[in-house]
A and B are shown apart, each in its own frame.
Chain A
Amino acid sequence: MADHVPPKLDVAQVRGDFPILASEMNGRPLVYLDNAASTQKPACVIDELARFLREDYANIHRGVYDLSMRASEAHDGARDRVRRFLNASAAREVIFTRNGTEGINLVAQSYVRPRARPGSKVVVSRMEHHANIVPWQMLGEATELGLEVVELTPEGELRLDELEAKIDDDTLLVSLPWVSNVLGTVNPVHRIVEMAHAKGVAVLLDACQAIQHLPVDVQEVGCDFLVFSGHKVYGPSGIGVLWGKAELLEAMPPYQGGGEMISSVSFERTTFADLPFKFEAGTPAIEAAPALARALDYVAGLGLDAIKAHEDAVLAYGTRALKQIKGLHLLGEPAHKSSVLSFVMDCAHPHDIATLVDLDGVAIRTGHHCAQPLIEKLGQPAAARASIGVYNTTDDIDALVASLQRVVGKLG
């Protein structure tokens, strides 16, 4: 039988779906290569935001009038859209948050904190975003929770033997990124879940850099919690998702208190609402939810297999092209890599690289990428990062490379 061939992406059509890609930056056509920081929005998402605000907007889950009902239905519909996108078993397992960061903080406060005893620990890795470091440290100050850090191979892969050794009776949670935002490493999530579950430990996957690049099926992976941000999957900012297994979420105390999350309130006693509302205190990002649903429709319509095949081809092309540039060093060359090209150059500080390529209309990111422990371990003060989204092409890579050659010409 022939190998499965993913449907091909019509990238010209995709580019046409994103109005901002036709714009200019510094008088040059915009080459947007900062997708790991945030993605641009297709017209269908922009239109849905505007349509909802024009036609269906009211506060949700309160009004008995038709408009509020319509807004509530849109919200409920969005939750179910997320459920289908993740292949979760129930919509009540989908908690709307502000972003991935809030999802991790929620798990820290409501899952880990009640279990924390002196000596307890959470296992993370050297490749963490600050969002998967600082919440545990803050919790550690309140509860003596410790942080175990799994180191990486020189290629930028998790040391799985070390991971396995660090999960023990004191481990409350293994919390790791599906894809590294600096190295692009695609972690072996099935193997990680298997290792943790073999010792009865739950797994949180930070899917902020995976959800837009590869198929994510929470039941198939078997993790216990998963978080992502709407703005990184072509949706609006201000909305994110925490998915968790219902039996875990049900046993967890609320995260924040307020409206929406209660069943009844008196000054003597408050009872809490059921899932998912227990974890959604206060008015949410009402108009963001249907827009996020539309973004997920859009991504699912293109097909994550097709997106992955396209982006992997652009990544491979970019990897070869960047290696041709004198004095440029790629950071992270794992066997399984997604969408990210981090690099340093002998001739120029990353800040200068980004400043100069900006003049050519090329948007890349520099700095520590919210992963200071990793950048320091790599022996760099900072790094430059070009990151690929569904609409990027080899032309974008060519524009980046031409611009980087000018950097070499100016500062080399």
Chain B
Amino acid sequence: MDAVSITNRQRELEEEFALFDDWREKIEYVMDLGKALPPFPEEARTEGNRVHGCQSQVWMDARIDPETGRLRLVADSDAILVKGLIGLLLRLYDDRPPREIVDNPPEVFERIGLGRHLTPGRANGLYEMVRRVRELAAAQAA
């Protein structure tokens, strides 16, 4: 089985989060991920790449790499927590084939206690980002 498959990535994340004793540690860990998020290409900071519906400003550029046929994902926010959630999303879906993304909904968010952030109308835009990524993957895989 592919060592970097989404299934494996979800399992790894679940194991990492199992190490934390409480909610504070989880949130601080997500924020640390946010601080380590790779820089966002300035040319991608366009209105079309804005993700609306969050309290912070979020930009996301999701596209299919024409050479590999895989999804490439970059995103950014002015809030560290949201950058951390982006980091988690990248861990799951970046550089994976669209078919595999379609077949693997981001169940790990529920399992690591972040499920409440994945509901429409939440303040951080994670729902909208996941929706966009999976829509793009679905269109490509169709």
Contact = CB atoms under 8 A, between A and B. Distances in A.
A222 B134 CA distance: 57
Nearest to A359: B24
A351 B55 contact: yes
A132 B57 CA distance: 25
A351 B24 contact: no
Interface in B51-67: 54-57
A356 B27 contact: yes
Given A348-B80, A351-B82, A381 B56 contact: yes
Contact of B81 (A27, A352, A367): A352
Interface string A336-369: 0000000000001111100110010000001110
Given A26-B24, A351-B82, A382 B55 contact: yes
Contacts of B123: 351, 366-367
B30 to A, nearest CB: 9
B79 A349 contact: yes
Interface in A168-183: none
B124 interface: yes
Contact of B28 (A348, A349, A350, A410): A410
Most buried by B among A27, A359, A368: A359
A81 to B, nearest CB: 34
A351 B22 CA distance: 20
A294 to B, nearest CB: 31
A18 B124 CA distance: 31
Contacts of A352: 31, 79-81
Contacts of B40: none
A54 to B, nearest CB: 33
B20 interface: no
Contact of B80 (A27, A349, A368): A349
Interface string B4-44: 00000000000000000011100110010000000000000
Interface in B78-126: 78-82, 123-124
A355 B27 contact: yes
A179 B81 CA distance: 32
Interface residues on B, range: 10 to 19
Contacts of B23: 26, 359
A411 interface: yes
A381 B27 contact: no
Interface in A354-412: 355-356, 359, 366-368, 381-382, 410-411
A368 B55 CA distance: 7
Contacts of A382: 55-56
A356 B81 CA distance: 9
Contact of B27 (A359, A367, A411): A359
Most buried by B among A348, A355, A411: A355
B78 A349 contact: yes
Given A27-B22, A367-B55, A351 B27 contact: no
A62 B82 CA distance: 53
A355 B23 CA distance: 11
A351 B56 contact: yes
A351 B28 contact: no
Nearest to A347: B80
Contacts of B24: 26, 359
Nearest to B35: A411
A254 B23 CA distance: 52
Nearest to B32: A410
B56 A349 contact: yes
Contacts of A348: 80
A386 to B, nearest CB: 16
Interface of B: 22-24, 27-28, 31, 54-57, 78-82, 123-124
11 contacts: A27-B22, A349-B78, A349-B80, A350-B55, A351-B124, A355-B27, A359-B23, A366-B123, A367-B55, A410-B31, A411-B80
- Report the 3 A-B pairs with minimum CB-CB distance, sorted nearest first: A349-B79, A351-B79, A367-B55
Given A359-B27, A411-B31, 16 more contacts: A349-B78, A350-B55, A350-B79, A351-B54, A351-B56, A351-B81, A351-B82, A352-B80, A355-B31, A359-B23, A366-B55, A367-B55, A368-B55, A381-B57, A410-B28, A411-B80
